[in-house]
Chains A and B, each alone.
Chain A
Amino acid sequence: MCLLIWIRAGEWMRNIWAIAYKEFIHVSRDRRTLMLIIIMPMMQLMIYGYGVNTDVKHLPTYIYDQDRSYLSRRLVNAFTQSDYFSVKAQAVSLPQVYSALDRGLAQSALVIPPDFAANLTKKKTGLVQLLIDGTDSTPANVALNSSQAIINAFMQNEKLIPVQVLPVDFRPRLWYNPDLKSTYFMLPGLIGLVLQFMIPMITATAIVREKERGNIEQLLVTPIKPYELILGKIIPYIAIGIFISFSILTTMHFLFVVPIHGSIITLFFLTLVFLIVCLGIGLWASTVADNQQQASQMVMFFAMPSFLLSGFIFPRESMPVWVSDIGYFIPMTYFLKIVRGIVLKGLGFFDLIDQVWPLALMAFLVIVFSIRRFSKRMA
């Protein structure tokens, strides 16, 4: 009896490996997919690591100092010494300031009237204007808040206001990412983004290709079982998924110096769970699509909301409730919390249990559903 089970197990293992092996050959001869696997993650890393920097710093700023007094120079200094503003030019007229803002040469402009210092000393109040380009709300907000802080510090440093003793000693501290570097936030999340885009795509096209090229017709008349075919076909893409995750993680750590606080092993196993969800989506798309083009469109249909609603870039906290609720049905929402939690906060498996169980449930449902659907379509 035991022997029989062992022989049966040997049989399906053999079939699965036979399929996995030939699938590896397919991938190794498919230049396009190979390039995609290697280049796409690196490209994303470069884009999000260097390019898409949501840290607002060095805002191009015009200075129009009509006062040219000691105090006005001190004020300009206060602005230029902060990381937030960087002086592009000294303007000589208001029209020049306006046109710089219009043409985007400057995103902010500090305008100091001629009687600034005189008024400060005489009337105890001097007028200063900061013009901010509010087209893009993020840098505008940063400019607004930081300028307030700069002015407050300026007033205290110049002894323009009395040093106050505040009843509440308020000391905010930034944890996990004290320098507020956007790479810390973005790059770990890239593992989720790239897996979500690539794995369903290459899985779906690999399966649909067998349909498209008629290979499935020959497989149907062999004694192979649908689930053996599926598992065999999936194995190489699990390996590719692991490779992609690992390449992103190492590049992120060594090139962009993002510290990894948590356990790599925990991250590995939870990434596998997410990978299974991605494979399941690809599998499902392959049962619906008739050709590779349809399959990739179907996958994009899933990937776009993931990109926008999972909190990869846009914080879910600032979305209307019904929109952010949609995020609960998106696997990447959970995975992003997991990967950021492990990498940045050093969280362990049990700290993340609220994210792990929905993701595991999704993995289970999507894989069972799509294997059943696949088997039915194949028979």
Chain B
Amino acid sequence: MPDIAISADLLTKRFGKFTAVDEVSFEIPYGAIFGFLGANGAGKSTTIRMLCGILAPTSGTGKVGGFDVQTQPEEIKGVIGYVSQRFSLYSDLNVAENLTFYGQIYGLEKEALQNRIKDVLTLTGLDRFRQRLAGDLSGGMKQKLAIANAILHEPRIIFLDEPTAGLDPLSRRAIWELLYQLAEGGTSLFVTTHYMEEAERCNTIAFISDGKLLKIGQPAVLRHELTDQILEVTCQPLMKASRLFLKIEGVRGVTVYGTTLNLNVIDREAVEKRVIAAAGREGIVISSIKPIEASLEDVFADMDSSRRMDA
């Protein structure tokens, strides 16, 4: 299947007794944005490192751009772009010098390289800053430079490890516009993020926890699976209510949103009755109680609580 950019089949990495990534499988076609979600230490970075050809998997197979992660890591490095979590270009080199250096390493020469640098700087809007030291760029511009650097050799697969972490909303939007542009051109993007509204922008998202892939699918489909399981309760006093509701049978989780509580429930109608009864006993005033559509954060919280119940 030539239209599959990245695939993992029972990909596993163990460090001694600790299993960092546990039989993870997925397929990502070209032109797709794949959101990889999970808490810190869940196994996101280890998965990326295996797919980038830096870390050999313990078992299972992975293919990136048609190359095997186990046997052809060097070939993989030539066809992918990578944007790391932490800014890792040279801060004492200017924008053009950074790009020239990496371009040379990817085998671009003289005129072709200079043309390509001009292209990526135009695309990322950094052309005015050619001579500025990378260390003097703002956070958002640094990330743009990192992306410009990652696409210099025109890879069709790019890994981005939290590309928007710590950026202001406008910069984040700019970065995402850039990513859409790249995906439109047929590049497949493997993105990790902690921002749920960013996950919403992906074609496919996958949740990883303790090294296991818990769920994978389109954001809308995942949210839909939780329909009829989220109750929005507006009540007073809020924190007392949140503690009380958590003890009610059938409530799997409670999240506070400003003046309301989102209850993650099993069997909505039965729980709704129990909640109203309990509130009455404890003197909690409920002004409204209604089912709402799940957000991705609810999906995330739901998976987290079911994992804890399993444990």
Contact = CB atoms under 8 A, between A and B. Distances in A.
Interface of A: 11, 14-15, 18-19, 21-22, 25-26, 29-30, 213-218, 220-224, 379
Interface residues of B, number: 26
A14 B104 contact: yes
B105 A214 contact: no
Interface in B62-86: 74, 77-78, 80, 82, 84, 86
Contacts of B106: 222-223
B124 interface: no
A217 B149 CA distance: 14
Select the residue from A30, A214, A218, A220 with max chain B CB neighbours within 10 A.
A218
B78 A22 contact: no
A223 B84 contact: no
Interface of B: 52-54, 74, 77-78, 80, 82, 84, 86-93, 97, 101-102, 104-107, 149, 159
B82 A223 contact: no
A221 B69 CA distance: 13
A217 B84 contact: yes
10 contacts: A15-B105, A21-B101, A213-B88, A213-B91, A215-B88, A218-B88, A221-B53, A223-B77, A223-B78, A224-B105
Contact of A221 (B54, B87, B104): B54
A373 B308 CA distance: 42
Contacts of B89: 215, 218
A223 B105 contact: yes
A219 to B, nearest CB: 8
Contacts of A25: 92-93, 97
Contacts of B149: 218
A22 B88 contact: no
Contact of A22 (B53, B80, B82, B90): B90
A333 to B, nearest CB: 38
Select the residue from A30, A215, A216 with max chain B CB neighbours within 10 A.
A215
Given A22-B97, A221-B80, 17 more contacts: A11-B107, A14-B107, A15-B105, A18-B101, A18-B105, A19-B105, A22-B93, A26-B90, A29-B92, A30-B92, A214-B88, A215-B89, A216-B88, A217-B84, A218-B84, A221-B159, A223-B106
Nearest to B94: A25
Select the residue from A18, A220, A223 with max chain B CB neighbours within 10 A.
A223
